[in-house]
Amino acid sequence: MRGVSPSLLTPRVRRVAIVALGLLWAASIGGTAATMSNGKPFAGFAILILGWTEVPLGQPAWLANLFLLAAWLLIARTRVTRPRLLTILGIALMACAIAALFWRTIPDTTGPKAIVTYHAGYYLWMAAVIGTSLAAVAIASTESSRE
């Protein structure tokens, strides 16, 4: 990430990026994320509420919602005092995005249902996670080069 100009990562630019990424995330929660094999749509909000149940079953992508909040709080600071932690969060977010590529079932009261179609909510969530991941690593590399 040496090609990132520090002038592009000013605190104001970082805050604007956080707002934009946060709006993507909020839109993903408000929209439909997928359609199940029984034909029912599954809302992003429902995945936010129920997604943690998939973590012990080997689908860690839901954890990105927690990592997003932590990364946004660190990025919003005027000066990032813990660039190593921000790098770790960026890598963890990218790992969650990769895990979400292999998301094939949705928990339901009658058992897991296969996903037949992904919708805008899924893609907006992925954009928020990947965007935050890239921003976190870029900002951390810029901040650590200043030390």
For the stretch 97-142, pLDDT in tens is 999 999 998 877 787 889 999 999 999 999 999 999 999 999 888 8
Q: Determine how β-strand 113-118 pairs with β-strand 105-106.
A: antiparallel
In the sheet that 105-106 helps form, which strands lie side by side, from edge to edge? 41-43, 32-36, 113-118, 105-106
Model confidence pLDDT, tens digit, residues 22-76: 999 999 999 999 999 989 999 999 989 988 888 888 889 999 999 999 999 999 8
pLDDT score, position 71? 95
Residue recorded with tokens 């994320």? 33
pTM of the predicted model, to two decimals? Answer: 0.88
Distance CA 42, CA 47 (A): 7
Distance CA 50, CA 38 (A): 18
Mean pLDDT lowest among 3-7, 69-73, 90-94, 126-130: 3-7
pLDDT score, position 73? 92
pLDDT > 50? residue 21: yes
pLDDT score, position 2? 54
Confidence of residue 77 (pLDDT cuts 50, 70, 90): confident
pLDDT score, position 26? 97
